[in-house]
């Protein structure tokens, strides 16, 4: 049994025992939580990684308190372990820049004060803007943990948010004083794409922005409801959380010059809008942004996604309901910054799209969800990247609620396409996964 599996089982057992023996004591303390064990079984070795089994365990504790009439507090703390090396050491950073996760960490920690329609929240927060399902171009405030890009999650940012609410309109303004980059796949992970042996380059450490006033990011969103439409306008001024590559050369010796790639972060201004409405049985939604480069960017871009949800009531003994989601995402270049030394990450010579960070340049997204019963759901979802040579990501997942507290899910991930395409670069990473979740 692997170390993480052992830790996971211990956490699950510990949580179960704690919940079973002392439910009142936990509740009295205002503590709730979940223990999660995940196991991934890859079908083949990858060029850079021969570990085919990866196990992760997570224990999450949550404390919430509402104070009468004036505010609320929330803390979500996590303990993690895994047998790949995603998690190492104990580090508490503001902002988080460690490439690996800490054994203990704060996922969220907020304090809110409210007076009338005005609410101020400070702390480590996770925001969720936008109306689309697969991808939200207007949602720019939080970086992601992409150590496993398919099993990614948002990273909270230390920030202050002011919300002004009226029945049909609300305005949120957020300031994030520090820049937190997304956590990228580790160097020897199967998720770091291998490049052809003919491609030789020097890759620098990422150049992160100085953590001073110039690193401050801020965003605002005005959302309203009018005649059956939810409409939002949003603005973000800050950094893209995944790096792009600045290209240059390095002379190693007279006559020996190598390409040099320096990961840098694009500073940008992003103006966006989104909508959601219903037409008969369809829920229609869409988002669009104009991303204008301030520094370290190659192109000003327009990104949009539109789609619909459709729910079909079957009411059969073995099939209660079907949900269909279809979305189309597109990116176009508004303006090319001539003289920019930032590489086009979709078309690096000899590398292709192996360094690309956007799966939604020209993509169709689909999800079919069959609700067999209130406790059992089957999902088939896929993303087809049609930008250039097509590549695909397909996931089949079955989720079952054994009890209100114990949930299991299992499924398969398939990644297809040529090695130089967005999804095809991870063609060796097809896998089976299983998740056990105990809530207490």
Partner 1 sequence: MSRRRWLALLVAGAASALLAAPAGAQSAIDIMKRRRELQRVHDEEERQILRLVSKSGATKERRVTRWILSGANDLDKILVRFQAPRDVENTALLTWEGKDGNDDQWLYLPSVKKPKRIAASGKKNRFMGTDFAYEDLRSEALAVHTYALVGSEVIDGADCWIVDAKPATERQAADSGYSHRKLWIRKDGYVTVKREFYDRHDRLEKVETHRKLVNVGGTTWRSNEVETPNAVAPASVAAARMRTNEVEMSDVQNGTRTVVIVESRAIDRGLRDEFFSEAELVR
Binding site for partner 1 (CB under 8 A): 32, 34, 72, 117, 119, 126-131, 163, 165-168, 170, 223, 225, 228, 230, 276-283, 285, 309-313, 321, 374, 401, 404-405, 407, 439-440
CB of 191 to partner 1, least distance (A): 24
Q: Which is nearer to partner 1, 133 or 204 (CB)?
A: 133
Local structure of residue 213 (DSSP, 8 states): G
Distance CA 24, CA 77 (A): 20
For residues 188 and 147, is the Cβ–Cβ distance under 8 A? no
Q: Which is nearer to partner 1, 129 or 360 (CB)?
A: 129
CB of 170 to partner 1, least distance (A): 6
For residues 285 and 273, is the Cβ–Cβ distance under 8 A? no
Q: Which is nearer to partner 1, 4 or 435 (CB)?
A: 435
Q: Which is nearer to partner 1, 90 or 166 (CB)?
A: 166
Q: Which is nearer to partner 1, 107 or 301 (CB)?
A: 107
**Beta-strand relationship, 229-239 and 244-253:** unpaired
CB atoms within 10 A of CB 40: 22
Token pair belonging to 153: 């999650």
CB atoms within 10 A of CB 156: 22
CA distances to 243, 310, 325, 352 from 283, in Å: 34, 7, 9, 37
CB of 255 to partner 1, least distance (A): 56
Q: Which is nearer to partner 1, 380 or 405 (CB)?
A: 405
Closest CA to 71 of 141, 21, 122, 37: 122
Closest CA to 319 of 368, 371, 369: 371
CB of 380 to partner 1, least distance (A): 19
Token pair belonging to 279: 């037409």
Query: Tokens 């006559």 identify what position?
Result: 255
Give the DSSP letter string of 219-270. Answer: EEEEEEEETTEEEEEEEEEEE-SS-EEEEEEEEEETTEEEEEEEEE--EEEE
* H or E element at residue 325: strand 319-336
Distance CA 440, CA 329 (A): 38
CB of 163 to partner 1, least distance (A): 6
CB of 370 to partner 1, least distance (A): 14
Q: Which is nearer to partner 1, 163 or 330 (CB)?
A: 163
* H or E element at residue 175: strand 169-176
Q: Which is nearer to partner 1, 71 or 206 (CB)?
A: 71
Distance CA 324, CA 122 (A): 38
Q: Which is nearer to partner 1, 168 or 338 (CB)?
A: 168
CB of 326 to partner 1, least distance (A): 14
Token pair belonging to 334: 């508004």
CB of 261 to partner 1, least distance (A): 35
The DSSP bridge partners found for residue 369 are 323, 379
**Beta-strand relationship, 391-401 and 217-226:** unpaired
Q: Which is nearer to partner 1, 107 or 246 (CB)?
A: 107
CB of 83 to partner 1, least distance (A): 26
Distance CA 274, CA 171 (A): 14
CA distances to 4, 5, 13, 83, 432 from 1, in Å: 8, 6, 16, 11, 18
CB of 119 to partner 1, least distance (A): 7
CB of 332 to partner 1, least distance (A): 26
Q: Which is nearer to partner 1, 112 or 217 (CB)?
A: 112
């Amino acid at each position: 049994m692997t170390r993480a599996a052992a830790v996971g089982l211990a956490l699950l057992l510990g949580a179960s025992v704690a919940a079973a023996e002392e439910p009142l004591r936990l509740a009295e303390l205002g503590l709730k939580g979940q223990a999660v064990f995940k196991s991934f079984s890859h079908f083949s070795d990858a060029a850079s990684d021969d570990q085919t089994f990866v196990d992760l365990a997570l224990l999450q504790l949550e404390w919430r308190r509402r104070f009468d009439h004036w505010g609320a507090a929330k803390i979500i703390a996590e303990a993690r372990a895994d047998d790949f090396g995603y998690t190492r050491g104990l580090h508490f950073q503001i902002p988080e820049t460690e490439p690996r996760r800490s054994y203990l960490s704060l996922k969220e920690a907020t304090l809110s004060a409210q007076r009338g329609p005005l609410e101020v929240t400070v702390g480590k927060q996770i925001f969720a803007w936008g109306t689309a399902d697969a991808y939200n171009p207007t949602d720019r405030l939080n970086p992601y943990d992409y150590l496993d890009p398919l099993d990614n999650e948002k990273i909270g940012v230390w920030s202050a948010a002011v919300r002004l609410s009226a029945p049909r309109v609300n305005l949120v303004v957020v300031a994030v004083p520090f820049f937190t980059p997304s956590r990228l796949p580790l160097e020897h992970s199967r998720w770091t794409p291998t490049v052809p042996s003919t491609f030789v380059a020097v890759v620098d450490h990422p150049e992160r922005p100085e953590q001073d006033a110039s690193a401050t990011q801020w965003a605002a969103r005005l959302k309203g409801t009018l005649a059956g439409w939810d409409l939002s306008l949003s603005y973000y001024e800050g950094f893209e959380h995944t790096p792009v590559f600045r290209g240059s050369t390095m002379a190693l010796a007279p006559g020996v010059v190598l390409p040099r790639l320096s990961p840098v972060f694009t500073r940008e201004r992003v103006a966006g809008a989104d909508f959601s409405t219903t037409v008969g049985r369809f829920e229609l939604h869409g988002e669009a942004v104009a991303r204008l480069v301030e520094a370290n960017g190659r192109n000003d871009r327009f990104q949009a996604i539109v789609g619909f949800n459709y729910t079909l009531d079957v009411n059969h003994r073995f099939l209660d309901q079907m949900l269909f989601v279809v979305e189309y995402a597109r990116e176009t270049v508004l303006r090319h910054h001539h003289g920019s030394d930032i590489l086009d990450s979709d078309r690096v010579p000899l590398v292709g799209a192996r360094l690309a960070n956007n799966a939604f340049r020209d993509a169709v997204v689909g999800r079919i969800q069959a609700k067999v019963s209130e406790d059992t759901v089957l999902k088939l979802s896929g993303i087809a990247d049609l930008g250039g040579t097509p590549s695909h990501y397909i996931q089949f997942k079955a989720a079952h609620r054994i009890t209100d507290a114990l949930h299991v899910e299992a499924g398969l991930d398939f990644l297809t396409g040529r090695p130089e395409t967005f999804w095809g670069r991870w063609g060796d990473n097809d896998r089976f996964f299983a998740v056990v979740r105990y809530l207490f």
